[in-house]
Amino acid sequence: SAEISAEGGGRDSWACVVLGDLHLNPGEMTPFYKARDEIKALLDTQCGDVPDDRKFLVSLGDLGAYGIAGTTESFENAKNYLEGYGLPKRNMRIVTGNHDLEGMEEFKTDEENFQAWRNAFDVDGEQGQFVAEIPGTKCVLLGLSTEKFRSNIYSSHEVFISEEQIEWFNAVLDRYPAKDGYNIIVFSHAPPMGSGLRVLNGLHVKNTCAWLNHAQNNRMRRSFYRAAREHGSLLAWFSGHFHLAQDYEESISLLSGNSPGALTAFCQTGVIGPDSSRDQRRQSRFLRSNGTHLQVYSINHHHSDGGLGADEYMALLRL
């Protein structure tokens, strides 16, 4: 765990649930429904002072079980599941994972597959990206989506962020500078190279699909690391992809920025489904801000009660 500073007051509160790779199995939804009930109860008990328009949920993609991933069926299943959390539609955000463009039998091209995903979730961003200002605060949620599967050069499972999306990303960071008091939280399926998070060398690194734009040229691959160093407003970055637990030493990694005091926390997000876990842990992330600090919690679905304690945050970040 990492504690960045002492806890502060209680103004401008907001909350966000982060779901890792879902891989929803229509034939075995019990663990997912139980996890959803745990999270909904958590939002009720822990967020009494948080206005409804400041409660968010972000899905990091990979929505369908192996065998149906990337299909219209997987998108519809996930849409129904996510709507069951009961949050306003504008407060539920989603990015693509590599498996979300794997509907090879239903769609001939990445473009068709990607458009079907956009249509299913009414995604405005042309590259599947999103930006959401949290009302009444200077906190901003930002999401990046992979756009290729069939047409990836090396590994089809590389999480590819296009030049256009990188330009958009940098423009959004410029729009919300640290000097004006902004804090940006980024969400992507895979983490950027240089994040320091635990990876699987024999799987993702070997197959050039561990990091964003892993197999691309150095400028495209390192652009996200440079952005984190250069933009003091980039407070935290959440990713999934590895199906690993949130309580390894390298499940949260801290990167110092170029400006004095600038820091970005990179945070691994686990999985809910028993068939997806690589270490028997089943976890999600819960973010809670009181206006001066952001607390990063682990929701432990493998515990009978969801496993979240009132003071068991894994990182405390100064806003």
Dist CA 12 CA 10 (whole Å): 7
So what's the pLDDT on residue 259? 79
CB atoms within 10 A of CB 19: 28
Pairing mode, strands 263-268 and 92-94? unpaired
Q: What are the E-state strand segments in the chain?
A: 2-3, 14-19, 55-59, 92-94, 130-133, 139-143, 183-187, 234-239, 252-256, 263-268, 283-289, 293-300, 315-318
178 against 1, higher pLDDT: 178
Q: Are 186 and 172 in contact (CB under 8 A)?
A: no
> What secondary structure, in 3-state letters, does 179-222 show?
HHCCEEEEECCCCCCCCCCCCCHHHHHCCCCCCCCCCCCHHHHH
Over range 81-97, report the average pLDDT.
97
So what's the pLDDT on residue 304? 67
pLDDT of 245 above 50: yes
pLDDT of 110 above 50: yes
Dist CA 195 CA 120 (whole Å): 31
Q: How confident is the model at residue 312 (pLDDT cuts 50, 70, 90)?
A: low
- Give 183's contacts (C-beta < 8 A, 6+ positions apart): 138, 139, 140, 233, 235, 294, 319
Q: How confident is the model at residue 246 (pLDDT cuts 50, 70, 90)?
A: very high
So what's the pLDDT on residue 6? 28
What are the respective helix, strand and coil percentages of the chain, to the nearest 5?
A: 30, 20, 50
CA 173 vs CA 170, 186, 230: distances in Å: 5, 10, 10
Over range 211-227, report the average pLDDT.
92
